[in-house]
Structure formats: C-alpha cells, structure tokens
C-alpha cells in the first residue's frame, strides 16, 4: 500500500477500522439504497462532512456485503476537493464464513485506497455463497435467493417471517444480509485477488471472533485463520499485550503456549 510521507517524521494517528456508512444494513438512519438525485447527494454530503469533523485521521468503510458506501464517498470527494478535510478512507468489507462457532465467524477485508473500482468488483465476483444449485457470486439477487432457500426452522430461529421472505424482495434481502456466509474457498480466492493490495482483519476476542471457537476440538481451523490474518482485533488488554509478545499478570497463565503457537506476531484493533 502507498505510504504518504509526513514532513515532521513519525506521527501517531487515530484509525477507525469500523466506519459504517449509510450503505450498511446496520445503518439506523436514512439509507443510501434506493436514493437518487439530490436526496442521494445530500446524504453522501452529510456522511463526508461527518467524517471530516470526526477525530480519527483514517477510516475504513467497513459495511457488510458491499463497497457501495465507500464508492459513493470517494466519488463525492473527487467532485468536491477538500471535502474530507485531509482524512483518508480505505475500502473495506465485512463478511461471514462458516465455522465451528455456534454463531457466525466474522471476517473483514481492508484494501488499498488506490485500487480501482474494478478491483473491488473483482473481489465481489469471486466471493461465493453456497446455494441449493451450487455456489453463486455475491450479489443482492444471490442474497435474496439464499434467504428464500432457508428452511422454516432456520427462519424461525432468527424470528424471520417466512411468508414475507417469499413475497417481499427487500425483506428477503435483509434476511440474506443477516444470515448468509461466504465459502472458505471463495474467501481464499478473494485474498488472491487482493494480493499485496489488501489485508485480512480477523476479530479475536470481539463479537464473532476466533477466541470463541473451541481450539482444542477445532485446532486446525483456529490455526488456519490465525495464519491467514494480517491484523487481529482485540478489546482485552491482556490479549493485546500477548499479541505484542508482552507477558504480564493479565496473560501469564496462557502467554507461553499462545506466543509459541503464533505463526505471525501481528496486532491491531479498532480505533487505535
């Protein structure tokens, strides 16, 4: 990735690795999806203004399943120079993969902001969701199909309305956003597409993280993901220090085994 030069030398900067945009299905306010014209431009302008005024210097747009928010922000910024007030925004995407967790295993991809929109499309194209007829590339249509193939037991577990899933495409898409998982094979292909222009960020002790997997029963799975990740997201101080190779009273009970088993000594966290 490109490295901007700071004339004053090394500087500590605050990064936000989990910046959701109005393109995210998690977004609680007015959403980008379906907006056109002045309404769309106004919402994107508000988002850019919020980023410019916020404390972090660097943001990663980390919406699930889509790069649309990032693309809208960067397109607006090109048309309005200075709108981001010098802030840097990276393209990112949140995904889920199947695992031995009782709930989903979250994974996050972070890419170089200098990659082209076509590269982002290429990443999406190789990501697959397993459907009854075989694997299909990630898209809204694919997510709708996924939700409509869920059995009544799975829909009931998520308190989803099966009749509404069948009749309402927007509702079916929301259910797909919440339940779909990409295949392990397609995630590996996405990492190949990114090459040295992207990073794999794995939650460790945050929601849907590797720490929740029973490592004794599923040692190979934990080791595989731990070896593949470039950045780990931690909230516990003892775990953060352990990743840095620092042993203290917070992690002394597990540090030696933990440190000795690491393939990579890498750590990061949200809002550094």
Q: In sequence order, what DSSP letters do the residues of 176-201 get, joined into one string?
A: HHHH--B-HHHHHHHHHHHGGGEEEE
When computed from its CA atoms, the radius of gyration of the chain, rounded to whole angstroms, is 20
Dist CA 243 CA 43 (whole Å)? 40
The tally of CA atoms less than 13 A away on the side-chain side of residue 198 is: 25
Dist CA 4 CA 214 (whole Å)? 41
The pLDDT score that the predictor gives to residue 12 is: 77
The pLDDT score that the predictor gives to residue 34 is: 87
Dist CA 123 CA 120 (whole Å)? 5
Is the pLDDT assigned to residue 159 strictly greater than 60? yes
pLDDT tens figures, 50-106: 999 999 999 999 999 999 999 999 999 999 999 999 999 999 999 998 776 666 788
Average pLDDT over residues 258-262: 77
The pLDDT score that the predictor gives to residue 266 is: 44
Question: If you average pLDDT over each of 22-36, 160-174, 254-268, which comes out highest?
Answer: 160-174
Dist CA 166 CA 138 (whole Å)? 20
């Amino acid at each position: 990735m490109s490295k901007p030069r700071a004339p004053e030398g090394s500087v500590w900067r605050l990064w936000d690795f989990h910046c959701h945009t109005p393109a995210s299905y998690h977004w609680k306010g007015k959403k980008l999806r379906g907006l056109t014209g002045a309404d769309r431009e106004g919402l994107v302008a508000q988002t850019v203004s919020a980023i410019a005024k916020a404390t972090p210097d660097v943001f990663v747009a980390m919406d699930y399943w889509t790069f649309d928010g990032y693309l809208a922000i960067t397109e607006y910024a090109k048309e309005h120079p200075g709108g981001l007030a010098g802030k840097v925004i990276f393209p990112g995407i949140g995904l889920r993969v199947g695992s031995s967790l009782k709930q989903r295993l979250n994974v996050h991809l972070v890419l170089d902001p200098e990659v082209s929109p076509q590269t982002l499309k290429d990443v999406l194209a190789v990501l697959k969701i397993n459907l009854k007829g075989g694997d299909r590339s990630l898209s809204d249509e694919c997510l709708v199909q996924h939700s409509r193939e869920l059995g009544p037991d799975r829909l009931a577990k998520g308190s989803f309305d099966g009749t509404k899933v069948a009749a309402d495409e927007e509702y079916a898409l929301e259910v797909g956003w919440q339940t779909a998982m990409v295949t392990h094979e397609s995630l590996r292909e996405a990492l190949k597409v990114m090459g040295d222009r992207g990073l794999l960020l794995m939650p460790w002790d945050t929601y849907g993280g590797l720490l929740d997997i029973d490592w004794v029963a599923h040692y190979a799975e934990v080791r595989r993901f731990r070896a593949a990740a470039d950045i780990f997201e931690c909230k516990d101080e003892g775990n953060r220090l352990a990743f840095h190779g620092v042993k203290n009273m917070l992690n002394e009970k597990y540090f030696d085994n933990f440190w000795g088993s690491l393939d990579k000594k890498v750590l990061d966290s949200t809002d550094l």
